[in-house]
Amino acid sequence: MVYARLIIMRLLKAVIVLFLIVIFNFLLIQLAPGDPAAILAGQAGAADQEFLNQLRERFGLDQPMYVQLWRYVSGIAMLDFGYSYRLGVPVFDLIMDRLPATLLLTGTAFVLSLVLGIVAGSMAAARVKKPSGSLIMALALVFYATPLFWVALMSVVVFSVYLGWLPAYGLYTVGAGHTGFALALDIAKHLVLPATTLALFFMAIYTRMTRTSMLDAAQQDYVKTARAKGLKPSIIQRRHVLRNALLPIITLAGLQAGQMVGGAILTETVFAWPGIGRLMFEALEQRDYNLLLGIFFFSAALVIVFNIITDLVYSLADPRIKKGAA
Amino acid sequence: MKTPLALAISAAALTFTSVSMADDPTPGGVVNTIIQPEPPGLVLGMIQNAPTRTVSGNIYEGLLRYTTDLEPMPQLAASWDVSDDGRTYTFHLRDDVTWHDGEAFTADDVVFSADVFHRELNPSARAVLQHVESIEATDDHTVVFTLTQPFGPFMLSFEAGTFTMVPEHLYAGTDFRDNEHNDHPIGTGPFEFSNWERGTVIELVKNDDYYEDGLPYLDGVNWHIIPDGASRAVAFENGTIDVLPSGTVENFDIPRLAEMDNVCMTEEGHEYFSPFAMLWMNNREGPTADKRFRQAVMYAMDREFAKDVLWNGLGNVPLSAFGSNARFQNDDLEPYDHNPERARELLEEMGYDGEEITILPLPYGETWTRWAEAVQQNLREVGINVETQATDVGGWNQRLGDWDYDLAFTYLYQYGDPALGISRTYLSDNIAKGSPWNNVEGYENERVDELFNEAATAFPDEEREALYHEVQEILHEDVPVGWLMELGFPTLYRCDVKNLVTSGVGVNDGFKDAWLDR
């Protein structure tokens, strides 16, 4: 019951927030210089006024801004995201088309970074004054500080160009005609480099955070008590230290999860991964407002959903929080 | 001056020609190439941007093709006659052509494409069609174009990308932009559309019923979509990609890729477009409104340096407003050599007070940014106070469309004839806010207008030549825009891809004759 009420309240708030976000995004986008008709015309290399007028009328850009805003918002209310100016395809279809590839990439990176980060962080916490612990932290610092695009390019140079182990780009091997298991294997191979690249940064953060948080928790009285009653160190680490150290990690994981739709622009670009991040970047460059707003909407919705999920997970990890929220 | 790379290319081109003559083409195989950026759609004629032309030039065809010297070759039209007064053009079509869906291609398709489809959708065709009084199909395979008056470049207007033949039976009476066949383009070309995995690949397959015997040799062409320049270079390096069309990798990667084993390079296949890089100079206000200032900019720029360093020695520094591939070039003009001394004199003479001006690079990648830096340095050397401002494509469009700039980079296609690709930059009735592709600099000169307008419709060519020579003298003196370079856009390919470029738009219809020697 407490959960149900919590969720309903949060969902109601979420709808209001989303509505405000839609309006804010719409207004924000008007500030960008240039309009889509001029950009499309520019690509044609030749454009007369008639051509520009045709496009503007077609996109509804000849209407006053409040009319455009009203049309857009009322469309969204019916879950109609409109058409992409540039591609002439419904925005919803475009997003759904790209979503699986992005979720595969960001989801893999999410799980990878979370699991490896927590494991590495726990190991570092357990070896706090040993060389192996320092080594883990040094590596984490390196990954934390290295720019993502550089890691991406270097991993291509090493693993694709020199060693030839992994494909350099794409979702699958074009023209190979793989199906079934062979296709899955092919995609998995293509996934290794981009997912690892994307995971490294967050893995570094999780590692550092887990270690700090665990060292902190290890100082607490209940850990002393646990030790005093003779529990095995491994059980103390797992049940008493790690569980209490998890809260900040959950917060961060919630943030990372919220970025799963639009957070991989660089990785998708370098590895030619056909995902939402690239779609968004192209839409931005082309001033493809409908498409851009559609992606913003999905990203915002996902952030809100993951915020709710994060709160629920908090209360699972630490039952004291539930009382506070209710 | 030719750099080692440019020399190597000439040498490679020579050996390549002599080898390919000796071999017999073998059919089969699929070529992997790149398309950058991903095109918005593939219906040529409805969409005319460069990537659409490059892919769809293999799906659709025009009445004619053009040699690398821009002489017309038969395509859908087997032959043609021009009346003595230069007003009537009769095209005799091939009678064995079918669309990819099996319907016959007839004169009605030509009339529909030109008179209905392009008139409604296509700005560059519209510019030509304003000279056309009527288009008639006199029988199933004959089309007659009657012009209001002679129009010199008319024979150059029938290339696939400009005057695409679209199927009447699928488009007549529909809303063209919403037509269900736009997702699956139907043309007459050597390759058929097969599949488009958005963000990944566009696949074309051989048209088995193609009307030219034995063609095409290839079973298909895969256009890979890779958004990052460095990744495209890697894909070529590791052998996944066979052909890198021009402009798909940054210029500084080209020498490294060109030196690899089994890699050839050609500059051919752009003669029809002959992209001309220019520096817009605002003729309306600020120091750039003074002719002497604009001349000083021309003298201050070291264009040969830019060509050798930024463009690997490829391309051509133009004499004046007419490029080397445009017809009627006036060779008697005094070139604007790199002469900082002369530039300083001119600035002194006009009393330039050091007012700051801005320069907008073209937001098309690293080469253009570096070029702007080079020009900025040249201008500072002669005392011009200039700052670079970065924009993205949308911002650049808006700044130029609003005339809110001092100096700005651009490049324009020349389309083989001054009346198609050059006059548009200088005609005063082509001044209009809101577009970065007209007379953006705001140059107005009645004599220039007269000469260009007369020359477009003068007949025969000798008369046009005299008029164009005079207009070049005036432009050369007035410097309405800076003439930077005719760009050399090299295509890199594995040497075992044979016969890749066979026309003046070779990059766009090249796979028709290509074959693999593997």
Task: Give the DSSP per-residue string, B297-323.
Answer: HHHH--HHHIIIIISTT-EE--SSSS-
Query: Which residues, numbered 393 to 412 in chain B, qualify as contacts with chain A under a Cβ-Cβ cut-off of 8 Å?
Result: 393-399, 401, 412
At residue B37, the 3 state secondary structure works out as: coil
pLDDT digits (tens, 9 = 90+) for A283-315: 888 888 889 899 999 888 888 888 888 888 888
Token look-up 């004619």 returns B64
Least confidently predicted of A69-73, B32-36, B353-357: A69-73
Length of chain B: 518
Q: Do B49 and A97 touch (CB under 8 A)?
A: no
Neighbours of B453 (CB within 10 A): 15
Q: Going from the N-terminus, what domains does chain B have, and what CATH number goes with each? A: 24-34+189-269+493-510 (3.40.190.10), 60-182 (3.90.76.10), 275-487 (3.10.105.10)
Q: Do B435 and A174 touch (CB under 8 A)?
A: no
Q: Which residues contact B69 (CB under 8 A, 6 or more apart)?
A: B271, B504
Which DSSP symbol is given to B203? Answer: E
Q: Is residue A89 part of a domain?
A: no
Give strand pairing partners of B203: B195, B222
Q: Is residue A143 part of a domain?
A: yes
Token look-up 């088995």 returns B208
Distance CA B104, CA B113 (A): 15
Shared domain for A37 and A157, answered yes or no, is no
Token look-up 């570096």 returns B370
Shared domain for A71 and A102, answered yes or no, is no
Nearest residue of B to residue A165, measured between CA atoms:
B238
Q: Calculate mean pLDDT across residues B371-385.
A: 94
pLDDT digits (tens, 9 = 90+) for B250-280: 888 899 999 999 999 998 888 888 889 999 9
Shared domain for A312 and A167, answered yes or no, is yes
Shared domain for A34 and A157, answered yes or no, is no
Catalogue the E-assigned strands of B49-141: 64-66, 72-74, 77-82, 88-93, 132-139
CATH code, domain with A119: 1.10.3720.10
Distance CA B110, CA B101 (A): 17
Distance CA B325, CA B170 (A): 37
Query: Do strands B357-360 and B386-388 pair parallel, antiparallel, or not at all (unpaired)?
Result: parallel
Give strand pairing partners of B276: B412, B486
Q: Which residues contact A160 (CB under 8 A, 6 or more apart)?
A: A166, A167, A168, A193, B234, B238
Domain limit, last residue, from A14, A47, A78:
A78
Shared domain for A155 and A255, answered yes or no, is yes
Whether pLDDT at B12 is above 60? no
Distance CA B430, CA B393 (A): 22
Whether pLDDT at B79 is above 90? yes
Which residue from B59, B493, B33 is spatially nearest to B223, judged by alpha carbons?
Answer: B33
Residue A54's Cβ-count burial label (10 Å; 0-12, 13-18, 19+) is middle
Q: Is residue A88 part of a domain?
A: no
Neighbours of B225 (CB within 10 A): 25
Rg of chain A over Cα atoms, rounded to whole angstroms, equals 24
Chain A residues with CB inside 8 Å of B225's CB?
272, 274
> B97-131 burial, b for 16+ CB within 10 Å, e for fewer?
bebbeeeebbbebbbbbbbbbbeebbbbbbbbbeb
Which DSSP symbol is given to B511? Answer: G
CB of B32 less than 8 A from some CB of A: yes
User: What's residue B18's pLDDT?
Assistant: 40
User: What's residue A43's pLDDT?
Assistant: 65
Query: Which residues, numbered 459 to 488 in chain B, qualify as contacts with chain A under a Cβ-Cβ cut-off of 8 Å?
Result: none
- Judged by phi (left if over 0) then psi (alpha if -120 to 50, else beta), residue B405 lies in beta
User: What's residue B21's pLDDT?
Assistant: 47
Q: Is residue A263 part of a domain?
A: yes
User: What's residue B216's pLDDT?
Assistant: 92
Which residue from B333, B330, B411, B328 is spatially nearest to B156, judged by alpha carbons?
Answer: B328
Token look-up 């957070």 returns A263
Q: Is residue A90 part of a domain?
A: no
Shared domain for A151 and A281, answered yes or no, is yes
Shared domain for A233 and A298, answered yes or no, is yes
Concatenate the DSSP letters of all residues of A116-172 into one string. Answer: HHHHHHHHHHHTTTSHHHHHHHHHHHHHHHS-HHHHHHHHHIIIIIIS--S-SSSSS
Whether pLDDT at B63 is above 50? yes
Which residue from B507, B20, B309 is spatially nearest to B12, judged by alpha carbons?
Answer: B20
Report how far Cα A203 is from the mean position of its chain's Cα atoms: 14
Domain limit, last residue, from A78, A108, A141:
A78
Q: Which residues contact B429 (CB under 8 A, 6 or more apart)?
A: B449
**Token reading at B227:** 């958004």
**Token reading at A255:** 């943030």
Q: Is residue A86 part of a domain?
A: no
Query: Do strands B276-281 and B497-498 pair parallel, antiparallel, or not at all (unpaired)?
Result: unpaired
Q: Calculate mean pLDDT across residues B390-414.
A: 88
Whether pLDDT at A325 is above 80? no
Q: Do B47 and A274 touch (CB under 8 A)?
A: no
> Which residue of A169, A274, A278 is in closest CB contact with B235?
A169
Torsion of CA B312, B314, B319, B325, to 10 degrees: -160
Q: Do A42 and B225 touch (CB under 8 A)?
A: no
Quickly state the pLDDT bin for B22 (edges 50, 70, 90): very low
Distance CA A281, CA A102 (A): 14
Shared domain for A66 and A117, answered yes or no, is no
Shared domain for A7 and A68, answered yes or no, is yes
* Total of domains in chain A: 2
**What's the sign of the alpha-carbon dihedral B390, B393, B398, B401?**
positive
Quickly state the pLDDT bin for A44 (edges 50, 70, 90): low
Least confidently predicted of A128-132, A258-262, B263-267: A258-262
Q: Do B238 and A270 touch (CB under 8 A)?
A: no
User: What's residue B19's pLDDT?
Assistant: 42
Which residue from B271, B261, B336 is spatially nearest to B298, judged by alpha carbons?
Answer: B336
User: What's residue A64's pLDDT?
Assistant: 85
The more confidently predicted of residues A148 and B197 is B197
- Best to test chain A binding among B178, B236, B240, B505 (most A CBs inside 10 Å): B240
Q: Which residues contact A224 (CB under 8 A, 6 or more apart)?
A: none
User: What's residue B165's pLDDT?
Assistant: 94
Give strand pairing partners of B277: B411, B485
Whether pLDDT at B2 is above 50? no
Shared domain for A118 and A63, answered yes or no, is no
Query: Do strands B407-412 and B276-281 pair parallel, antiparallel, or not at all (unpaired)?
Result: antiparallel
Chain A residues with CB inside 8 Å of B199's CB?
98, 101, 272, 274-275, 278-279
Q: Is residue A87 part of a domain?
A: no
Q: Do A41 and B124 touch (CB under 8 A)?
A: no
pLDDT digits (tens, 9 = 90+) for B450-502: 999 999 888 888 889 999 999 999 999 999 999 999 998 899 999 999 988 88
> A176-200 burial, b for 16+ CB within 10 Å, e for fewer?
eeeeeeeeeebbeebbebbbbbbbb
> Which residue of A34, A88, A272 is in closest CB contact with B41?
A88
Distance CA A70, CA A80 (A): 13
H or E stretch at A100: helix A91-126
Identify whether the C-beta of residue B36 lies closer than 8 Å to the C-beta of residue B248.
yes
Nearest residue of A to residue B42, measured between CA atoms:
A87
Taking CA atoms, A223 is separated from A119, A139, A239, A240, B152, in Å, by 20, 29, 10, 6, 92
Shared domain for A139 and A282, answered yes or no, is yes
pLDDT digits (tens, 9 = 90+) for A184-202: 999 999 999 999 988 998 8
Q: Do B234 and A157 touch (CB under 8 A)?
A: yes
Which residue from B201, B189, B183, B192 is spatially nearest to B47, judged by alpha carbons?
Answer: B183
Distance CA A271, CA B438 (A): 38
Nearest residue of A to residue B273, measured between CA atoms:
A45
Token look-up 């084993």 returns B261
Token look-up 């590692």 returns A207
Shared domain for A66 and A184, answered yes or no, is no
**Pairs of CB atoms within 8 A across A/B:** 150
Q: Calculate mean pLDDT across residues B300-323.
A: 92
**What's the sign of the alpha-carbon dihedral B210, B216, B219, B221?**
negative
Q: Compute φ and ψ for A90, nearest 5 degrees.
A: -55, 135
Which DSSP symbol is given to B251? Answer: G
Least confidently predicted of A68-77, B99-108, B218-227, B447-456: A68-77
Quickly state the pLDDT bin for A47 (edges 50, 70, 90): low
Nearest residue of B to residue A87, measured between CA atoms:
B40
Query: Which residues, numbered 342 to 381 in chain B, qualify as contacts with chain A under a Cβ-Cβ cut-off of 8 Å?
Result: none
Identify whether the C-beta of residue B492 lies closer than 8 Å to the C-beta of residue B5.
no
Taking CA atoms, A128 is separated from A124, A132, A137, B487, in Å, by 6, 9, 10, 61
Whether pLDDT at B241 is above 90? yes
Distance CA B218, CA A289 (A): 40
- Best to test chain A binding among B397, B415, B516 (most A CBs inside 10 Å): B397
pLDDT digits (tens, 9 = 90+) for A207-238: 999 999 988 888 888 888 988 988 888 888 88
Chain A residues with CB inside 8 Å of B37's CB?
282
Q: What's the domain range around A40?
A: 1-78
Q: Calculate mean pLDDT across residues B284-305.
A: 94
Quickly state the pLDDT bin for A264 (edges 50, 70, 90): confident
Least confidently predicted of A14-28, A236-250, B343-357: A236-250
At residue B91, the 3 state secondary structure works out as: strand
